[in-house]
Chain A
Protein backbone atom coordinates (compact mmCIF):
# COMPACT_ATOMS: atom_id res chain seq x y z
CA UNK A 1 0.00 0.00 0.00
CA UNK A 2 1.23 3.46 -0.84
CA UNK A 3 2.43 5.55 2.07
CA UNK A 4 0.29 8.36 0.75
CA UNK A 5 -3.04 6.67 1.11
CA UNK A 6 -5.37 7.97 3.81
CA UNK A 7 -5.26 4.58 5.52
CA UNK A 8 -1.52 4.74 5.75
CA UNK A 9 -1.58 8.25 7.13
CA UNK A 10 -4.07 7.18 9.75
CA UNK A 11 -1.92 4.22 10.65
CA UNK A 12 1.28 6.21 10.95
CA UNK A 13 -0.06 9.31 12.65
CA UNK A 14 -3.30 8.70 14.46
CA UNK A 15 -2.73 5.21 15.77
CA UNK A 16 0.41 6.05 17.76
CA UNK A 17 -1.49 8.84 19.49
CA UNK A 18 -4.38 6.53 20.24
CA UNK A 19 -1.97 3.81 21.35
CA UNK A 20 -0.30 6.27 23.70
CA UNK A 21 -3.64 7.28 25.14
CA UNK A 22 -4.75 3.69 25.44
CA UNK A 23 -1.53 2.57 27.07
CA UNK A 24 -1.65 5.38 29.59
CA UNK A 25 -5.25 4.81 30.44
CA UNK A 26 -4.95 1.04 30.60
CA UNK A 27 -1.80 1.04 32.63
CA UNK A 28 -2.68 3.76 35.04
CA UNK A 29 -6.39 3.85 35.53
CA UNK A 30 -8.13 1.89 38.25
CA UNK A 31 -11.06 1.79 35.84
CA UNK A 32 -9.05 -0.67 33.77
CA UNK A 33 -8.91 -3.32 36.51
CA UNK A 34 -11.53 -6.03 36.88
CA UNK A 35 -15.09 -4.96 37.62
CA UNK A 36 -14.97 -6.69 40.99
CA UNK A 37 -11.75 -4.99 41.96
CA UNK A 38 -13.00 -1.69 40.68
CA UNK A 39 -16.21 -1.99 42.60
CA UNK A 40 -14.32 -2.37 45.85
CA UNK A 41 -11.86 0.40 45.10
CA UNK A 42 -12.33 3.84 46.68
CA UNK A 43 -10.92 5.27 43.48
CA UNK A 44 -13.73 3.66 41.49
CA UNK A 45 -16.26 5.40 43.64
CA UNK A 46 -14.45 8.67 42.96
CA UNK A 47 -14.38 7.96 39.24
CA UNK A 48 -18.09 7.26 39.20
CA UNK A 49 -18.66 10.61 40.83
CA UNK A 50 -16.89 12.46 38.03
CA UNK A 51 -18.52 13.28 34.74
CA UNK A 52 -17.10 11.49 31.73
CA UNK A 53 -15.62 13.86 29.17
CA UNK A 54 -14.43 11.05 26.90
CA UNK A 55 -15.23 11.37 23.23
CA UNK A 56 -15.07 13.60 20.21
CA UNK A 57 -16.03 17.22 20.66
CA UNK A 58 -16.62 19.78 17.93
CA UNK A 59 -16.40 23.51 18.63
CA UNK A 60 -19.90 24.95 18.98
CA UNK A 61 -20.23 28.72 18.74
CA UNK A 62 -23.96 28.61 19.51
CA UNK A 63 -23.55 27.66 23.17
CA UNK A 64 -24.01 30.72 25.39
CA UNK A 65 -21.37 31.77 27.89
CA UNK A 66 -21.86 29.82 31.11
CA UNK A 67 -22.46 32.17 34.07
CA UNK A 68 -21.40 29.63 36.68
CA UNK A 69 -18.00 29.05 35.05
CA UNK A 70 -17.53 32.77 34.51
CA UNK A 71 -18.25 33.41 38.20
CA UNK A 72 -15.05 31.48 38.99
CA UNK A 73 -12.91 33.76 36.86
CA UNK A 74 -10.65 36.16 38.78
CA UNK A 75 -11.95 39.73 39.08
CA UNK A 76 -10.61 42.14 36.49
CA UNK A 77 -10.15 39.47 33.85
CA UNK A 78 -11.26 40.50 30.37
CA UNK A 79 -13.42 38.12 28.31
CA UNK A 80 -11.99 37.81 24.79
CA UNK A 81 -14.56 37.47 22.03
CA UNK A 82 -12.38 35.81 19.42
CA UNK A 83 -13.18 32.18 20.15
CA UNK A 84 -13.52 30.13 16.97
CA UNK A 85 -12.91 31.52 13.49
CA UNK A 86 -13.11 35.17 14.61
CA UNK A 87 -9.89 37.12 14.87
CA UNK A 88 -9.05 40.55 16.15
CA UNK A 89 -7.75 42.92 13.51
CA UNK A 90 -4.22 44.16 13.76
CA UNK A 91 -3.86 46.53 16.72
CA UNK A 92 -6.87 45.24 18.66
CA UNK A 93 -6.41 42.89 21.59
CA UNK A 94 -9.91 42.46 22.98
CA UNK A 95 -9.37 44.48 26.13
CA UNK A 96 -6.04 43.00 27.11
CA UNK A 97 -3.73 45.69 28.48
CA UNK A 98 -0.33 45.31 26.92
CA UNK A 99 2.89 46.39 28.57
CA UNK A 100 4.63 49.07 26.48
CA UNK A 101 7.30 46.67 25.24
CA UNK A 102 4.69 44.10 24.21
CA UNK A 103 2.70 46.77 22.40
CA UNK A 104 5.77 47.97 20.56
CA UNK A 105 6.62 44.41 19.56
CA UNK A 106 3.08 43.85 18.33
CA UNK A 107 3.24 47.03 16.25
CA UNK A 108 6.39 45.77 14.55
CA UNK A 109 4.95 42.32 13.96
CA UNK A 110 5.46 41.00 10.44
CA UNK A 111 2.67 38.49 9.68
CA UNK A 112 4.71 36.94 6.89
CA UNK A 113 7.05 35.52 9.52
CA UNK A 114 4.28 33.03 10.33
CA UNK A 115 4.45 31.80 6.78
CA UNK A 116 8.12 30.97 6.52
CA UNK A 117 8.88 27.34 5.85
CA UNK A 118 10.32 27.24 9.38
CA UNK A 119 7.15 28.52 11.05
CA UNK A 120 4.18 27.52 8.91
CA UNK A 121 3.84 24.12 10.57
CA UNK A 122 4.81 25.33 14.02
CA UNK A 123 1.87 24.89 16.37
CA UNK A 124 0.73 27.74 18.60
CA UNK A 125 0.49 27.11 22.33
CA UNK A 126 -2.70 25.88 23.97
CA UNK A 127 -3.63 29.52 24.69
CA UNK A 128 -4.45 30.00 21.04
CA UNK A 129 -4.98 26.40 19.98
CA UNK A 130 -7.80 25.42 22.33
CA UNK A 131 -10.16 28.12 21.03
CA UNK A 132 -9.59 27.29 17.37
CA UNK A 133 -12.35 25.89 15.17
CA UNK A 134 -10.98 22.35 15.22
CA UNK A 135 -12.34 19.34 17.09
CA UNK A 136 -10.75 17.73 20.11
CA UNK A 137 -10.93 14.18 21.42
CA UNK A 138 -10.66 13.28 25.08
CA UNK A 139 -9.49 10.00 26.60
CA UNK A 140 -10.29 10.11 30.29
CA UNK A 141 -8.67 8.06 33.00
CA UNK A 142 -8.26 8.50 36.72
CA UNK A 143 -4.60 9.48 36.81
CA UNK A 144 -4.34 10.97 33.33
CA UNK A 145 -6.65 12.76 30.95
CA UNK A 146 -5.49 12.95 27.35
CA UNK A 147 -6.70 15.69 25.03
CA UNK A 148 -5.93 15.14 21.37
CA UNK A 149 -6.37 18.32 19.37
CA UNK A 150 -6.83 17.97 15.65
CA UNK A 151 -5.10 21.34 15.25
CA UNK A 152 -1.44 20.62 14.53
CA UNK A 153 -1.79 17.10 15.98
CA UNK A 154 -1.31 18.50 19.48
CA UNK A 155 -1.59 16.07 22.39
CA UNK A 156 -2.11 17.32 25.92
CA UNK A 157 -1.54 15.10 28.95
CA UNK A 158 -3.26 16.34 32.09
CA UNK A 159 -1.75 14.71 35.14
CA UNK A 160 -4.37 13.96 37.76
CA UNK A 161 -2.03 12.24 40.22
CA UNK A 162 -0.67 15.29 41.97
CA UNK A 163 2.78 15.18 40.43
CA UNK A 164 4.96 18.24 39.93
CA UNK A 165 7.10 19.05 36.93
CA UNK A 166 10.68 18.00 37.50
CA UNK A 167 13.44 20.58 37.43
CA UNK A 168 14.38 19.84 33.84
CA UNK A 169 10.87 19.60 32.42
CA UNK A 170 10.99 21.32 29.02
CA UNK A 171 8.75 24.10 27.88
CA UNK A 172 6.44 23.19 25.01
CA UNK A 173 3.34 24.38 23.19
CA UNK A 174 1.26 21.99 25.34
CA UNK A 175 3.05 22.88 28.57
CA UNK A 176 2.84 20.92 31.80
CA UNK A 177 -0.73 20.42 32.96
CA UNK A 178 -2.08 19.17 36.24
CA UNK A 179 -5.74 18.69 36.99
CA UNK A 180 -8.09 18.12 39.87
CA UNK A 181 -11.82 17.90 40.35
CA UNK A 182 -13.86 20.55 42.11
CA UNK A 183 -17.22 18.81 42.24
CA UNK A 184 -18.13 18.05 38.65
CA UNK A 185 -15.71 20.64 37.25
CA UNK A 186 -12.26 19.68 36.04
CA UNK A 187 -9.72 22.38 36.92
CA UNK A 188 -6.47 22.32 34.94
CA UNK A 189 -3.40 24.40 35.70
CA UNK A 190 -0.75 24.71 33.00
CA UNK A 191 2.72 26.22 32.92
CA UNK A 192 5.99 25.38 31.13
CA UNK A 193 4.56 26.85 27.94
CA UNK A 194 6.77 27.98 25.12
CA UNK A 195 6.35 31.58 24.05
CA UNK A 196 3.67 31.85 21.37
CA UNK A 197 0.80 33.95 20.11
CA UNK A 198 -2.22 34.97 22.19
CA UNK A 199 -4.38 36.67 19.56
CA UNK A 200 -2.63 35.79 16.27
CA UNK A 201 -1.96 39.44 15.52
CA UNK A 202 1.41 40.16 17.05
CA UNK A 203 0.71 39.74 20.77
CA UNK A 204 2.77 36.90 22.19
CA UNK A 205 2.92 35.44 25.68
CA UNK A 206 6.23 34.50 27.24
CA UNK A 207 7.32 31.13 28.57
CA UNK A 208 6.19 32.27 32.01
CA UNK A 209 2.50 32.44 31.07
CA UNK A 210 0.15 30.49 33.30
CA UNK A 211 -3.22 29.07 32.38
CA UNK A 212 -6.20 27.93 34.42
CA UNK A 213 -8.95 26.02 32.62
CA UNK A 214 -12.26 24.85 34.01
CA UNK A 215 -14.22 22.18 32.14
CA UNK A 216 -17.72 20.95 32.87
CA UNK A 217 -20.62 19.34 31.04
CA UNK A 218 -23.75 21.26 30.17
CA UNK A 219 -26.92 20.35 32.04
CA UNK A 220 -28.03 18.06 29.20
CA UNK A 221 -24.57 16.47 28.95
CA UNK A 222 -24.29 17.22 25.24
CA UNK A 223 -21.82 20.07 25.46
CA UNK A 224 -18.45 20.52 27.09
CA UNK A 225 -18.07 24.01 28.49
CA UNK A 226 -14.78 25.62 29.41
CA UNK A 227 -13.13 28.81 30.48
CA UNK A 228 -9.46 29.33 29.79
CA UNK A 229 -7.85 32.06 31.88
CA UNK A 230 -4.32 33.16 31.26
CA UNK A 231 -1.90 35.57 32.85
CA UNK A 232 1.53 36.73 31.87
CA UNK A 233 2.70 39.75 33.88
CA UNK A 234 5.69 40.17 31.58
CA UNK A 235 3.45 41.32 28.72
CA UNK A 236 0.02 42.02 30.23
CA UNK A 237 -1.25 44.31 32.97
CA UNK A 238 -4.47 42.33 33.24
CA UNK A 239 -5.64 38.77 32.65
CA UNK A 240 -7.63 37.29 29.80
CA UNK A 241 -10.21 34.55 29.56
CA UNK A 242 -11.93 32.81 26.69
CA UNK A 243 -15.16 30.86 26.94
CA UNK A 244 -15.07 27.78 24.72
CA UNK A 245 -17.78 25.18 24.13
CA UNK A 246 -17.85 21.96 22.17
CA UNK A 247 -20.69 19.58 21.31
CA UNK A 248 -20.21 15.83 21.56
CA UNK A 249 -20.42 13.87 18.30
CA UNK A 250 -20.42 10.14 19.08
CA UNK A 251 -18.55 7.80 16.77
CA UNK A 252 -16.21 10.40 15.32
CA UNK A 253 -12.48 10.85 15.84
CA UNK A 254 -10.03 13.64 15.21
CA UNK A 255 -8.16 13.37 11.94
CA UNK A 256 -4.41 13.61 11.44
CA UNK A 257 -3.30 17.17 10.75
CA UNK A 258 0.00 16.16 9.13
CA UNK A 259 1.04 19.71 8.28
CA UNK A 260 2.88 20.26 4.99
CA UNK A 261 5.42 23.11 5.20
CA UNK A 262 5.50 23.52 1.42
CA UNK A 263 2.38 25.67 1.88
CA UNK A 264 4.81 28.47 2.79
CA UNK A 265 5.71 28.66 -0.89
CA UNK A 266 2.43 30.45 -1.56
CA UNK A 267 3.63 33.43 0.47
CA UNK A 268 7.12 33.97 -0.90
Chain B
Protein backbone atom coordinates (compact mmCIF):
# COMPACT_ATOMS: atom_id res chain seq x y z
CA UNK B 1 0.00 0.00 0.00
CA UNK B 2 2.84 2.33 0.88
CA UNK B 3 4.48 1.56 -2.43
CA UNK B 4 1.27 2.35 -4.28
CA UNK B 5 0.89 5.61 -2.42
CA UNK B 6 4.47 6.53 -3.19
CA UNK B 7 3.85 5.78 -6.85
CA UNK B 8 0.86 8.05 -6.79
CA UNK B 9 2.77 10.84 -5.13
CA UNK B 10 5.58 10.50 -7.63
CA UNK B 11 3.22 10.65 -10.55
CA UNK B 12 1.56 13.69 -9.06
CA UNK B 13 4.85 15.40 -8.37
CA UNK B 14 6.25 14.70 -11.78
CA UNK B 15 3.16 15.94 -13.52
CA UNK B 16 2.69 19.01 -11.39
CA UNK B 17 6.30 20.01 -11.79
CA UNK B 18 6.13 19.73 -15.51
CA UNK B 19 2.80 21.43 -15.80
CA UNK B 20 1.41 18.38 -17.45
CA UNK B 21 -2.27 17.74 -17.61
CA UNK B 22 -4.19 14.73 -18.63
CA UNK B 23 -7.14 14.73 -20.89
CA UNK B 24 -9.47 11.81 -20.63
CA UNK B 25 -6.99 8.99 -21.10
CA UNK B 26 -4.88 7.88 -18.21
CA UNK B 27 -1.35 9.29 -18.22
CA UNK B 28 -0.22 6.80 -15.59
CA UNK B 29 -1.40 3.85 -17.64
CA UNK B 30 0.18 4.85 -20.93
CA UNK B 31 3.44 6.55 -19.92
CA UNK B 32 6.24 5.40 -17.65
CA UNK B 33 7.01 8.14 -15.16
CA UNK B 34 9.55 5.96 -13.38
CA UNK B 35 11.68 5.52 -16.48
CA UNK B 36 14.46 7.82 -17.62
CA UNK B 37 13.18 10.71 -19.72
CA UNK B 38 13.59 10.32 -23.47
CA UNK B 39 15.40 13.12 -25.33
CA UNK B 40 15.19 13.15 -29.11
CA UNK B 41 16.43 15.64 -31.71
CA UNK B 42 14.93 15.54 -35.16
CA UNK B 43 13.11 17.37 -37.92
CA UNK B 44 9.41 18.17 -37.64
CA UNK B 45 7.40 16.20 -40.14
CA UNK B 46 3.95 16.97 -38.76
CA UNK B 47 2.39 19.06 -35.99
CA UNK B 48 -1.23 18.91 -34.87
CA UNK B 49 -2.33 21.46 -32.29
CA UNK B 50 -5.79 20.40 -31.21
CA UNK B 51 -7.40 19.01 -28.07
CA UNK B 52 -7.35 16.64 -26.31
CA UNK B 53 -3.60 16.63 -27.09
CA UNK B 54 -1.30 18.01 -29.72
CA UNK B 55 1.05 15.66 -31.53
CA UNK B 56 4.48 16.26 -33.01
CA UNK B 57 5.98 13.82 -35.51
CA UNK B 58 9.76 13.88 -35.85
CA UNK B 59 12.09 12.33 -38.39
CA UNK B 60 15.21 11.29 -36.49
CA UNK B 61 18.46 10.22 -38.19
CA UNK B 62 19.70 6.84 -37.09
CA UNK B 63 22.80 5.63 -38.92
CA UNK B 64 22.08 5.74 -42.64
CA UNK B 65 18.33 5.79 -42.25
CA UNK B 66 15.61 7.75 -40.50
CA UNK B 67 13.21 6.63 -37.83
CA UNK B 68 10.00 8.29 -36.72
CA UNK B 69 9.24 9.50 -33.21
CA UNK B 70 5.99 11.03 -32.08
CA UNK B 71 5.31 13.15 -29.03
CA UNK B 72 1.98 13.88 -27.40
CA UNK B 73 1.69 17.36 -25.88
CA UNK B 74 -0.33 18.71 -23.02
CA UNK B 75 -3.78 20.06 -23.88
CA UNK B 76 -3.32 22.85 -26.45
CA UNK B 77 -5.85 25.04 -24.64
CA UNK B 78 -3.52 24.96 -21.63
CA UNK B 79 -0.38 25.31 -23.75
CA UNK B 80 -1.75 28.49 -25.36
CA UNK B 81 -1.41 30.17 -21.99
CA UNK B 82 2.24 29.18 -22.02
CA UNK B 83 3.11 30.66 -25.38
CA UNK B 84 2.30 27.78 -27.71
CA UNK B 85 0.30 28.36 -30.88
CA UNK B 86 -0.41 26.31 -34.02
CA UNK B 87 2.46 28.25 -35.62
CA UNK B 88 5.07 27.58 -32.94
CA UNK B 89 6.41 24.64 -34.95
CA UNK B 90 6.76 24.28 -38.71
CA UNK B 91 7.49 21.32 -40.92
CA UNK B 92 11.25 21.19 -41.45
CA UNK B 93 12.14 22.78 -38.10
CA UNK B 94 14.85 21.04 -36.09
CA UNK B 95 13.73 20.56 -32.50
CA UNK B 96 14.68 18.63 -29.42
CA UNK B 97 11.89 16.96 -27.46
CA UNK B 98 12.10 15.52 -23.98
CA UNK B 99 9.43 13.45 -22.34
CA UNK B 100 8.15 10.32 -20.66
CA UNK B 101 8.36 7.15 -22.77
CA UNK B 102 5.32 5.09 -23.67
CA UNK B 103 4.94 1.98 -21.56
CA UNK B 104 4.48 -0.19 -24.64
CA UNK B 105 8.01 0.55 -25.84
CA UNK B 106 6.93 2.31 -29.02
CA UNK B 107 8.64 5.48 -30.24
CA UNK B 108 6.02 7.63 -28.57
CA UNK B 109 6.44 9.98 -25.65
CA UNK B 110 4.48 12.40 -23.51
CA UNK B 111 6.17 15.76 -24.00
CA UNK B 112 7.74 17.43 -20.99
CA UNK B 113 9.72 20.15 -22.77
CA UNK B 114 10.76 21.24 -26.23
CA UNK B 115 13.51 23.47 -27.57
CA UNK B 116 14.45 24.80 -30.98
CA UNK B 117 17.65 24.28 -32.96
CA UNK B 118 19.40 26.95 -30.90
CA UNK B 119 18.39 25.36 -27.61
CA UNK B 120 15.78 28.02 -26.89
CA UNK B 121 12.77 26.61 -25.01
CA UNK B 122 9.52 26.50 -26.95
CA UNK B 123 6.78 28.03 -24.83
CA UNK B 124 7.11 28.96 -21.19
CA UNK B 125 7.25 26.65 -18.21
CA UNK B 126 4.26 26.66 -15.91
CA UNK B 127 4.16 29.65 -13.56
| Given known contacts A120-B52, A263-B55, A61 and B26 CB-to-CB distance under 8 angstroms | no
- In the complex, what residue of chain A is closest to B57 when comparing beta carbons? A266
Judged by a CB distance under 8 angstroms, whether A88 is at the interface is yes
Residues on B with beta carbons closer than 8 Å to the beta carbon of A132? 21-22
Complex Cα spacing A132 to B7, Å: 19
Does the CB pair A133–B25 fall under 8 Å?
Answer: no
Complex Cα spacing A260 to B76, Å: 11
Contact digits for B8-20, partner A, Cβ 8 Å, 1 yes 0 no: 1101100110001
Closest 7 CB pairs of A and B: A86-B12, A85-B15, A260-B50, A133-B21, A255-B77, A111-B29, A114-B25
Number of interface residues of A (CB under 8 A): 38
6 cross-chain CB contacts under 8 A: A84-B12, A87-B28, A89-B7, A111-B26, A114-B25, A267-B25
Known: A255-B77, A257-B77, A260-B48. 17 other contacts (CB 8 A): A82-B8, A85-B16, A86-B9, A86-B11, A86-B15, A87-B11, A90-B26, A111-B26, A111-B29, A119-B24, A124-B24, A132-B21, A134-B21, A201-B29, A259-B51, A263-B52, A266-B108
Contact digits for A85-126, partner B, Cβ 8 Å, 1 yes 0 no: 111111110000000000000000001001100011111100
Judged by a CB distance under 8 angstroms, whether A33 is at the interface is no
Which residues of A, 70-90, contact B by the 8 Å Cβ criterion? 81-82, 84-90
Task: Kindly identify which residue among B11, B24, B75 contacts A89, using a CB–CB cutoff of 8 Å.
Answer: B11
Nearest chain A CB to B30 CB, angstrom units: 7
Judged by a CB distance under 8 angstroms, whether B4 is at the interface is yes
- In the complex, what residue of chain B is closest to A255 when comparing beta carbons? B77
Which residues of A, 13-70, contact B by the 8 Å Cβ criterion? 61
Residues on A with beta carbons closer than 8 Å to the beta carbon of B28? 87-90, 201
Does the CB pair A88–B8 fall under 8 Å?
Answer: yes
Residues on B with beta carbons closer than 8 Å to the beta carbon of A191? none
Complex Cα spacing A267 to B3, Å: 29
Number of interface residues of B (CB under 8 A): 31
- In the complex, what residue of chain B is closest to A61 when comparing beta carbons? B16
Task: Kindly identify which residue among B8, B16, B26, B51 contacts A200, using a CB–CB cutoff of 8 Å.
Answer: B26
Complex Cα spacing A256 to B12, Å: 26
- In the complex, what residue of chain B is closest to A122 when comparing beta carbons? B24
Residues on B with beta carbons closer than 8 Å to the beta carbon of A213? none
Residues on B with beta carbons closer than 8 Å to the beta carbon of A152? 24
Task: Kindly identify which residue among A87, A259, A260, A266 contacts B26, using a CB–CB cutoff of 8 Å.
Answer: A87
Judged by a CB distance under 8 angstroms, whether B78 is at the interface is yes
Judged by a CB distance under 8 angstroms, whether B59 is at the interface is no
Judged by a CB distance under 8 angstroms, whether B53 is at the interface is yes
Nearest chain B CB to A142 CB, angstrom units: 31
